[in-house]
Structure 1
Amino acid sequence: MSQSTMRGMRLGAQSLEATSGIVFSERSDYTYVCASGHETVLTFAAEAELPQTWQCKSCSVLATLQEGGKSVILEASDDKGPRTHWEMILERRTREELEEILAERLEIMRARRASAKGEA
């Protein structure tokens, strides 16, 4: 069994790729401060879009981005949130069409109920 092991090799502990010629992307450190005063320093790529808030690692409260020692003013989000089933239905059909479908289904259900009463 010991003859089948690879000698002189630390498997998985060391990369076999050469590190010469690798150019890392530009990075910048940004500070986020929560209401409790905890500072969180994060590194982002220079061209990355920065989030205005970040969850504090210490107290899990939202921390705001600091630029020049001052908190960044939060922009109002235009995000509507997830679409509801009703909104998806209204994308496919008008209210008039939905009223017609409802009337048809109610008529079918009433007819079924009336026939069930007649049999009993």
Structure 2
Amino acid sequence: MPSGNVIRGTRIGSAAERYQPVPCRAVTYWCRNDHHTEIRIAADAEVPEVWDCPRCGLPAGQDAQNPPGRARLEPYKTHLAYVKERRSAEEGEAILAEALADLRRRRGRPAAL
């Protein structure tokens, strides 16, 4: 019985005859913690300016003497915080009054209590 890793219909070394590897180049990135990461990228591909360090997660750049600083993370905002950025207090009161009047009308109650 043949082993499970054999690909039927191929012979050893035949995979190399079917394709040509893409020309690559090595690009090295350094982070603030002096970690360096070397990635291989296609020769015709655009090289990213910043790469996340796989060891510490900080942004890494190609200049070893001047690596990029920490990425500034914005604090988590609630849905209400985003709404307050878009609407003034007066607009919010008007929308609330309209929604309450519509709710009271659907329930058969007077518009204002």
Instruction: Give the TM-score, by structure 2 length.
Output: 0.51
Change (3 A) 1:65 1:21: same
- Cα offset, 1:106, TM superposition: 4.0
One of 26, 39, 42 as aligned partner of 2:39: 42
Pairwise CA RMSD of aligned residues?
Answer: 3.8
One of 102, 106, 110 as aligned partner of 2:104: 110
How many residues align? The count is 84
Q: CA deviation digits over 1:60-102, x for unaligned, max 9? A: 2111134xx66588xxxxxxxxxx9x8xxxxxxxxxxxx89x8
CA distance in 1, matches of 2:61, 2:6: 38
The amino acid of 1:44's aligned partner reads I
- 1:11 maps to what in 2? 4
More strand by share: 1
- Please list every run of 5 or more consecutive structure 1 residues that lacks an aligned counterpart in the other structure: 74-83, 87-98, 116-120
